[in-house]
Amino acid sequence: MSHAAPLPRSSQDAASPDTPLLPQGVMRTYLLVNVLFLLWGIPNNLNDVLIRQFMKSFELNRLEAGLVQFAFYLGYFLLALPAGILMRRKGYKAGFLTGLILFASGCFLFLPAAEMGRYSFFLGALFVVASGLAFLETAGSPFVAQLGPSATAERRLNISAAFNPTGSILGVVVGNLFIFSGVELSHTQVATMQAAGTYAAYLHKETLRVVAPYLVLGVIALVWAGLIAATRFPAFITAREHKAEVAGNWRDLLREKHFLHSLLAQFAYVGAQVGTWSYLIQYAHDYAHTPDRTSGWLLTGTLIAFAIGRIVSSWLMRFFNPTRLMAIYAIANAILLVLALARPGWIGLGAILLTSFFMSVMFPTIFGLGLKDLGPNTNIAGSLLVMTIIGGALLTLLMGWLADHFHSTAIAYAVPLVCYLIVLQFCTAMTRYTRQRLTVSTFEI
């Protein structure tokens, strides 16, 4: 592995089409870590299928089914900070390996959970899966951000993040083909099966359908852990890890206003993304009257739009300011969600499907902007940003409560609408921060 040249670190380093994306000798490592972005996208969007499946097999309401996301993102929230502490002491590789082992363990727990037929056991398994993903995401984004010039960090993160919707699409496709049975019983058929004493066996069979995809995913996670263990990371990353262990002080982050703004923006964005996808199948079912599998393919379609958005946005960032691009996208999504609220049906559904294109840029861009100029505190800051993923749990539950209280899935989409306005406010704050830094830099010169 060749040594890299010194890398620009400050936010004043202006990106241009000629600024290198990566130093020499790190492409293999970059690609290896990029596949992790794909891997953690699979269980994230399998949750959207699980919500609908568990509503059927455990006969849950929307709020109870929302506990799937709550248990999942609680794992992120509680384990992100320990992940950051571990990496500060032991390095990124330890974080990746711990995450993959926890991820695999949670997947394997799906088998006993299904055999026992307990919803609470599934929630526990999902918590373990998410605990592993907390380590992977806490390591992944800061690692990629520091793997090249600071000026191209947002573009590098968006390219890495483009692998994530591929995993998301795989998750929904797998769920649609192997978890959804395609059997949707009428009230008369349910009553007949209950009278014959066969309905409980049918529900248990539906529950067992979730096991196989998770067992396969667990095996893949263990294989990738072996590949990570056998890979030597770049020397300059090791040097930065040592500097962070010696010089880092998390209290310094309290003085970084742009970072504090990024925490709120990321909390809101993740809530918007998770909530939008979690209730999309239900929205399509309620207002477009589509069966579960058709709704699942619609979810797949919106994830393809998300992937296209990541690719297009990564290219656009070569020429346009990432903050300004994200502001335009936030405004577009706010308008689309107003339409989803005002015109529930195929028009509103189409608007929701389109929001995925515009939300695609937000997570990696907020992450990259939030980590600007944090030096040895980058790891711990990354942990705190990953903790904001709890927004996916809390705001999804809020959407479920609104949907049940008002007997309207459409009204629940007011939550992501507000979230995009918060992201827009972050763009404004980040623009002010960048101007102040440029002013200070010019004065010092």
- The answer to whether 393 and 70 have CB atoms below 8 angstroms apart is yes
Q: How far is CA 365 from CA 142, 161, 191, 207, 322, in A?
A: 12, 10, 51, 38, 7
Cβ 426 vs Cβ 262: under 8 Å: yes
Cα 2 to Cα 156: distance, rounded to the nearest angstrom? 20
Residue corresponding to tokens 């083909």: 177
The closest alpha carbon to 133, from 361, 387, 391, 398, belongs to: 387
Reported confidence tier of residue 442, pLDDT bands at 50, 70, 90: very low
Spatial separation of the C-alpha atoms in residues 400 and 52, rounded to whole Å = 13
As to burial, measured by CB atoms within 10 angstroms (0-12 exposed, 13-18 middle, 19+ buried), residue 395 is buried
CA distances from 147 to 92, 152, 222 (A): 12, 10, 25
Locate 436 and state its tokens.
């102040």
The confidence score (pLDDT) of residue 239 equals 57
Q: How far apart are CA 388 and CA 80, in angstroms?
A: 9
The domains of the chain are located at 27-444
Q: Could you tell me how far CA 240 lies from the centroid of its own chain?
A: 26
Structure tokens at 321: 């300011």
Residue 95 confidence (pLDDT) above 80: yes
The pLDDT tens digits for 187-205 are 889 889 989 999 888 888 8
Helix (H) or strand (E) holding 22: none
Output the pLDDT for position 242.
Answer: 47
Q: How many beta carbons lie within 10 A of that of residue 222, not counting itself?
A: 15
| Secondary-structure class of domain 27-444 per CATH | mainly alpha
Residue 443 pLDDT grade (very low, low, confident, very high; cuts 50, 70, 90): very low
Lowest mean pLDDT among 11-15, 24-28, 395-399: 11-15
Higher pLDDT, 184 or 258: 258
Range with the poorest average pLDDT among 8-17, 169-178, 411-420: 8-17
